[in-house]
Structure 1
Amino acid sequence: MSNSLVLVINSGSSSLKFALIDTVSGEATLSGLGECFGLPEAVVSWKIDGEKHEHMLEAEGNHHQQAVDRIVALLEELGMKQDIVAIGHRVVHGGEKFTKTVKIDETVLEEIDNLSDLAPLHNPAHVIGMRAAMKAFPSLSQYAVFDTAFHQTMPAKAYTGAISQKLYKEYGIRRYGFHGTSHYYVSREAAKMINKPVEDSNFISVHLGNGASVCAIKNGKSVDTSMGFTPLAGLMMGTRCGDLDPSIIEFLLKKGWSQQEVFDELNKKSGLLGVSGLTSDCRGIIEAMENGHEGATLAFEIFCYRVAKYIGSYMVALDELDAIIFTAGIGENSQPIRSKILENLKIFGYREDEEGNAAARFGNAGVITKPNTPMAMVIPTNEEWVIAKESMELLHA
């Protein structure tokens, strides 16, 4: 077996994704998911040779720890455990404290936990997952890779809100941005595709999934991004509203809504789901639109319009633009959405190559605009590989 295997763990509040990554090839030799933590149906599932396997967790107890323990047992059964050299953990929020990948120790755990005010759904869960992994793999070095780190190169004019400095200094209220690992990865791959050094390359990276964000990348560095203080800002998403007038929150509170009801409405009941009244899934939206559903059609139109508006506005952050990059679940696979976004950008000269757009799906990268017109491309993201590679680099540093 390879001695380049890193176990990547992404621990959520009620779930835990894992993947065993070969840092030489970038391939996931094993991957799986623990879900429904805190519920009677808590389960860990994984695939081997295309066949799905499941293991029900005990109803009582720490499901994060149980899931990690089951992963350890699985790795032992498959004879892989002894080949793992490090553990890499995805962390959503590093605030201003963490600008790069760090080795995890008790101080780092406390600092990640202290940032929980900025990511209450994510950071506490990350700490639980890290502690479970440290207990299960006491002899291995473990590393934290932060979604926010790539965006720490943004200039003050991009990350500072038009609010009093007191709010920034006392509470850390500013633009942080997310999906940094994805934007970092695809920008490096795009530079290879256009045969330019990444430090001389300029892109607008468009990460479209259930969560969605746009990032302006100048000379390989993030200079602006659409998500803000939290992942609620920016684009319309699967269930999140994206940008809206903050006075709407005050309006709803005055109407008798509770703070929790407002939070749930904007985070869990808005976006594609809220506008369509049907689903947060892009495929369901497009299918319903093709069958004439008005709500789905409107959701599609708003989504594509807002993405195009953000792309257009982010040209202001760049001196030149090599390409627009589409990535993540929707960005990599939805031909109709990419087509509509390019149509909305026709004032800038973008012209869809329909054959190229049809070919660049389901794991295939490619250019989706016509020759001699501004370039847009599709690049499948691989955040797990970035987490594994950065963990390996620190291990050998």
Structure 2
Amino acid sequence: MSSSSQVLVLNCGSSSLKFAVIDPHSGCLSLSGIGESLGQREASVSWKCGGERQSAILPANARHTEVIRFLVDEVLSQHDKLRDQLVAIGHRVVHGGEKFSHSVLVDDAVLNAIQECVALAPLHNPAHLQGIEAASAAFPDLPQVAVFDTAFHQSMPRQAYIYALPYTLYRDHGIRRYGMHGTSHRFVTERAAELLNLPVNEVNIISAHLGNGASITAVHNGRSVDTSMGLTPLEGLVMGTRSGDVDPGLLMHLGSRMDYCLKEINDLLNKKSGLLGISELSNDCRTLEQAATDGHDGAQLALDIFCYRLAKYIGAYHAVLPQVDALVFTGGIGENSSLVRQKVIQQLRGLGYAVDDEKNIRARFGEEGPINTDQSAVTLVIPTNEEWVIARDAAELVPPDTPNHDPSSRE
């Protein structure tokens, strides 16, 4: 692989498409952007290259194909050298089921497997398929690589991923816990090992990825052994608009006693709950922190429940792991909310955690490293970099006959 090689990373959501051109060796970002409000009248695209920010309006109801066409025709056409350095396209794929424990080159079998998992990620996997199809048409000579959110969690033991349901539901229909955010948890695991001066296959951490979607993972010897999300991203922690764990009997109560249909229950649990539902104000942690400071009771309650649930999971994962080398905070909230970290760590004082207030405040401004006191259990803040993981994996899978491939420099 040439030292000047670049990878185009695509992250297709249901109504958005994030893109970035990344050096897989250094992680340096040459280009980044996003297409938003896709499928709607106000579809648009914005991007940054060389420090210059630009934006454009897309045709009404534009989809992922139009964003990729715009990227090729209008953005990369202005940066020929960058386009010529591309060696692969890396795609984030939310759900790969049990079929994938690592990233793979995309072929017909892989596309069929992603399609088979649509029922497990109905908002995401169809968008990923659209993105792969559009990228394959735009870059027919470049390999397409799928990097799965679920792959990192395929190392979980059966007692961690099997639900206490009739076993035939797993055997015949694949109903089990899969977990998400695996690319992020994998990145912070590798980075934590570096900061702790440990080999990756010897590091034991509890990784908390906190954002509008939130999950926590127990990592033993560098491998995921339990995680909070399940069959879908709804299980586990309180999130921006998702409820996380609830009594399954609640669903029957909503249906039989309150006449909710399945769609209404799905919307309630995924789009109207979590921080938004509790606070009746916002799903944005920054808004809630300010509102709580101003005396908004609902905002304070939402933050309290968010932190309490997270602290309970951390305590539970201490029972999963033989030892914990570090607790790690990452994701938008995990990296930027000193208040959430402080409240969670205060709840965990019985397990030997304590926060250094000065270090905790500094970490709000992108400072990586420990925020614990000298005598307490190690707590790290590590900014995640899922795009770099995708770029690295894609570059490593580049076939020898790919344009711009330099076999003499491949690691």
TM tier relative to shorter chain: over 0.9
Spell out the pairing of 1:38-187 with structure 2 (5 A cutoff). 38-59=39-60, 63-73=63-73, 74-79=75-80, 80-187=82-189
Look up the equivalent residue of 2:337 and give its one-letter code.
S
Q: Counterpart in 2 of 1:329?
A: 332
Distance 1:321 1:76 in 2: 49
The answer as to whether partners of 1:359 and 1:366 remain within 8 angstroms in 2 is: no
Work out which of the residue numbers 216, 228, 251 in structure 2 matches 1:249: 251
**In 2, Cα distance between equivalents of 1:19 and 1:291:** 38
SS state at 1:299 partner: helix
SS in 2 for 1:289: helix
**Mapping of residues 187-206 of structure 1, within 5 Å:** 187-206=189-208
The DSSP-based 3-state class of the residue aligned with 1:87 is: strand
Amino acid at match of 2:388: W
Matches within 5 A, 1:253-264: 253-254=255-256, 255-264=258-267
Q: Equivalent residue for 1:357?
A: 360
Asked if the contact 2:31–2:50 (Cα under 8 Å) also holds between the matched residues in 1, the reply is no
CA distances 1:124-181 after superposition (whole Å, capped 9, x unpaired): 1100010000000000011000000000000000001111101111221111000000
Once residues 258 and 160 of structure 1 are traced to their aligned partners in structure 2, the CA distance between those partners, rounded to angstroms, is 27
Deviation sequence 1:179-207 (CA, Å, 0-9, x none): 00000000110111011111111000000
Aligned match of 2:277: 274
Quote how far apart the aligned CAs of 1:395 are: 1.1
User: Match for 1:348 among 325, 348, 351?
Assistant: 351
Whether contact under 8 Å (1:3, 1:84) holds in the other structure is no
Work out whether residues 178 and 231 of structure 1, in 8 Å CA contact, stay in contact via their aligned partners in 2.
yes
SS in 1 for 2:171: helix
Matched with 1:298 is 301
Residues 196-242 of structure 1 deviation map (CA, whole Å, 9 limit, x = unaligned): 11111100000000000000000000000000010000000000000
Contact 1:3/1:85 (<8 A) preserved: no
Moved more, 72-81 or 43-52: 43-52
**RMSD (Å) for aligned C-alpha atoms:** 1.2
Q: Residues 90 and 199 of structure 1: is their aligned pair in 2 closer, same or farther, counting only changes over 3 Å?
A: same
Residue correspondence of structure 1 range 364-383 to structure 2 within 5 A: 364-383=367-386
CA contact 1:57–1:63 (8 Å) conserved in 2: no
Aligned length: 396
Gaps of 5+ in 1: none
Q: What percentage of aligned pairs have identical amino acids?
A: 54
CA distance in 1, matches of 2:220, 2:200: 9
Q: Distance in 2 between matches of 1:288 and 1:10?
A: 32
User: What residue is the counterpart of 1:313 in the other structure?
Assistant: 316
What's the TM-score once normalised by structure 2's chain length? 0.94
Aligned to 1:7: 8
2:340 and 2:306 mapped to 1: Cα distance?
8
The letter for the 1-side match of 2:22 is I
Q: CA deviation at 1:299?
A: 0.3
Query: Contact (CA 8 Å) 2:274, 2:283: kept in 1 or not?
Result: yes
**Quick check: 1:213–1:225 contact (8 Å CA) kept in 2?**
yes
SS class of match (1:338):
helix
Match of 1:34 in 2: 35
Tell me which amino acid in the other structure corresponds to 1:354.
D
SS at match of 1:395: coil
Q: Which amino acid aligns with 2:101?
A: T
Q: Is the 8 A contact 1:92 1:147 kept in 2?
A: yes
1:284 paired with 2:296, answer no
Asked if 1:385 is matched to 2:388, the reply is yes
Q: Distance in 2 between matches of 1:361 and 1:164?
A: 46
Q: Does the CA contact (< 8 Å) of 1:308 and 1:341 recur in 2?
A: yes
| Higher RCO, 1 vs 2 (CA within 8 Å, ≥6 residues apart) | 2
Provide the C-alpha distance between the structure 2 equivalents of 1:364 and 1:85, rounded to a whole number of angstroms.
Answer: 32
Contact 1:2–1:83 (Cα < 8 Å) also in 2? no
CA apart distance, 1:50: 4.1
Q: Which amino acid aligns with 2:345?
A: L
